[in-house]
Amino acid sequence: EVQLVESGGGLVQPGGSLRLSCAASGFTFSSYTMNWVRQAPGKGLEWVSYISSSSSTIYYADSVKGRFTISRDNAKNSLYLQMNSLRDEDTAVYYCARGFSCSGGGCYHDYWGQGTLVTVSS
Amino acid sequence: DIQMTQSPSSLSASVGDRVTITCRASQGISNYLAWFQQKPGKAPKSLIYAASSLQSGVPSKFSGSGSGTDFTLTISSLQPEDFVTYYCQQYKSYPSTFGQGTRLEIK
């Protein structure tokens, strides 16, 4: 059974940093592109970042470019999102999602984690 | 960026009804279109990919169609657990984008 479990969320002040993790199991992690998708309270879904299976290709949404860094450790079956210079508008539930049938930097997300809440507030 | 527009934003229906939700892309995306269901407080659940392919384990009451810019999600024989929010997503190109969501409500 495919499982994705996020951790690392919490309350942080504007300008602060946070590192999210996603532990994967039930599939060959090193074979799949992975993504982060977020959802602000009461709002819709927003894709955040993409990393290919070998980490050779990485994409970011314009809203987080230069502040967030995606990475992965295939030996540990883990995905990460380092978030720096956090802003109020980064407050959201962050989901890791497996990429399937990826094309030109976009992926169908076939499996999602349960999400971890990041709150940016003073 | 490719804009995805869902209609309607909300929809009232009765148990047992059949409903259709529409998603329009601002430019052609071939069949790189997915549909998700999201229950309150839960992660999105995959329903359909490649516009019309059913995700494993999803009941056949859900069906999708379309290509290019216009797509539909049809849900037949509505049950109480179906009255939640649905999103479309294009994954033709970076950045992947989602529709604003359609909230399905019990009439």
Reference A34, options A82, A101, A115, A96; nearest CA is: A96
Q: Which residues of A touch B46 (CB under 8 A)?
A: 108-112
Both structure tokens of A84: 């720096």
The number of C-beta contacts closer than 8 angstroms across A and B is 76
Alpha carbon distance B7, A12 (integer Å): 36
At residue B8, the pLDDT reads: 97
The verdict on a CB contact (< 8 Å) between A108 and B100 is no
Tokens found for residue A68:
């967030």
Rounded CA-CA distance B78/B62 in Å is 10
CA–CA min distance B81, chain A (Å): 19
How confident is the model at residue B73, as a pLDDT? Answer: 98
Task: Supply the pLDDT for residue B48.
Answer: 98
pLDDT per position as a tens digit, B44-93: 999 999 999 999 999 999 999 999 999 999 999 999 999 999 999 999 98
Using the beta-carbon criterion (under 8 Å), do B95 and A44 form an inter-chain contact? no
**Nearest CA to A102 among B49, B46, B34, B91?**
B91
The b/e string for A19-56 (b: 16+ C-beta within 10 A; e otherwise) is ebbbbbeeeebeebbbbbbbbeeeeebbbbbbbbbeee
Smallest Cβ–Cβ distance between B43 and the set A102, A104, A112 belongs to A112
Mean pLDDT (whole number) for B97-106: 97
Given 3-state DSSP classes, what are the helix, strand and coil percentages for chain B, each rounded to the nearest 5? 5, 50, 50
The answer, yes or no, to whether residue A106 has pLDDT greater than 90, is no
Contact criterion met (CB < 8 Å) for A107 and B87: no
Comparing CB atoms, the residue among A61, A100, A109 nearest residue B95 is A61
In three-state secondary structure terms, A57 is coil
Residue of A nearest to B6 (CA): A44
Nearest CB to B92 within list A106, A109, A110: A106
Distance CA B66, CA B85 (A): 20
Q: What is the mean pLDDT of residues A81-99?
A: 98
Rounded to 5°, the CA angle A35-A46-A118 comes to 80
Closest chain B residue to A109 measured between Cα atoms? B46
Residue A54, φ and ψ in degrees, nearest 5: -100, 5
Alpha-helical (H) ranges within chain A are none
Distances (CA, A) of A5 to A24, B51, B63: 7, 28, 29
In angstroms, the CA A71 to CA A34 distance is 10
Query: What pLDDT shows up at residue A119?
Result: 98
- The pLDDT of residue A48 is 97
Q: Given this model, what pLDDT does residue A102 score? A: 85
Q: What is the mean pLDDT of chain B?
A: 97
A105 contacts chain B (CB < 8 A) = yes
